[in-house]
Amino acid sequence: MDLFPIFLKLTGRPCIVIGAGNLAESKIESLRAAHAAVTVIAPEARPSIVELAQAGEITWLRREYAPGDIADGTFLVVTATDVGAVNRAVYLEATGKNIICNAVDDPPFCDFYFPSVVRRGDLQIAISTAGASPALAQRLRKEINAQLPLDTGDWLTDLGNLRREVTQMEPLNDERKLLLHQLAQREVCGYDGCPSRQLARQHALTNPKHD
């Protein structure tokens, strides 16, 4: 299956999760990590979800899903109840309104799949097997996780700042491109005394960009 891999900006966007059990919990967590505005509809919720609602971090409507719950303007829907027929009804309502929906563990009723994710700060590596083997996606996540240094996110923040300095001051040319590729090699440029870092700063100071 040819899936389209993208990283979505969800900040403040209204997202609905139907169900508040084990599976919903992890989906809510990943939506909240992207700062989505989450509304949960379920008669019963896991303690962590109740706490989020009490803290005003999410909205919890304590009742069963009813047709019409997927408001126009909703950006994305996840349905994770333990009743297949309910999940499918939610999916049909959402897609009828052109809103993308994931019915957990029910591939024909998913417009998108959740990937397995390795994260270090702004760096995210998302793995999908298009549903062929979620267990493989999970195993690869663990392997990559074990290999990727824990401070990669901090290093990336530093690299991003340095790149911003360079791109603000340097005109876009091959020299700048080469410099940015050198900076991105942590084994070469992961420390302050790195010649490319010094060069980048020096270039930024001495070669102001001309519009």
Ligand X SMILES: NC(=O)c1ccc[n+]([C@@H]2O[C@H](COP(=O)([O-])OP(=O)(O)OC[C@H]3O[C@@H](n4cnc5c(N)ncnc54)[C@H](O)[C@@H]3O)[C@@H](O)[C@H]2O)c1
User: What residues make contact with ligand X under the rule CB under 6 A?
Assistant: 18-24, 41-45, 64-65, 80-83, 86, 104-105
Nearer to ligand PQ2, 138 or 185 (CB): 138
Candidate ranges 43-51, 114-122, 154-162, 191-199; the one touching ligand PQ2 (CB under 6 A): 114-122
If one asks whether residue 124 binds ligand PQ2 (CB under 6 A), the answer comes out as no
Residue for token digits 């992207």?
34
Q: Choose from ligand PQ2, ligand X, none: what does 22 bind? Cβ within 5-8 Å by kind.
A: ligand X
If one asks whether residue 133 binds ligand PQ2 (CB under 6 A), the answer comes out as yes
Dihedral Cα 83, 86, 87, 91, nearest 10 deg:
170
First to last CA, the chain: 45
* Beta sheet of 76-79, edge-to-edge order: 59-61, 37-41, 14-18, 76-79, 100-103
The closest alpha carbon to 15, from 95, 54, 65, 70, belongs to 70
Nearer to ligand PQ2, 133 or 168 (CB): 133
CB 87 within 8 A of CB 109: yes
Q: Choose from ligand PQ2, ligand X, none: what does 14 bind? Cβ within 5-8 Å by kind.
A: none
Number of residues that bind ligand PQ2 (CB under 6 A): 20
If one asks whether residue 131 binds ligand PQ2 (CB under 6 A), the answer comes out as yes
CA distances from 2 to 59, 111, 130, 149 (A): 35, 12, 8, 31
Cβ 81 to ligand PQ2 shortest distance, Å: 13
| Distance in angstroms (rounded) separating the CA atoms of residues 53 and 75 | 20
CA distances from 170 to 75, 162, 201, 207, 210 (A): 39, 12, 10, 6, 8
Cβ 73 to ligand PQ2 shortest distance, Å: 23
Q: Choose from ligand X, ligand PQ2, none: what does 128 bind? Cβ within 5-8 Å by kind.
A: ligand PQ2
Q: Which of 13, 14, 114, 167 binds ligand PQ2 (CB under 6 A)?
A: 114
Cβ 3 to ligand PQ2 shortest distance, Å: 8
Q: Which residues bind ligand PQ2 (CB under 6 A)?
A: 26, 102, 104-105, 107, 110, 113-116, 128-131, 133-135, 137-138, 141
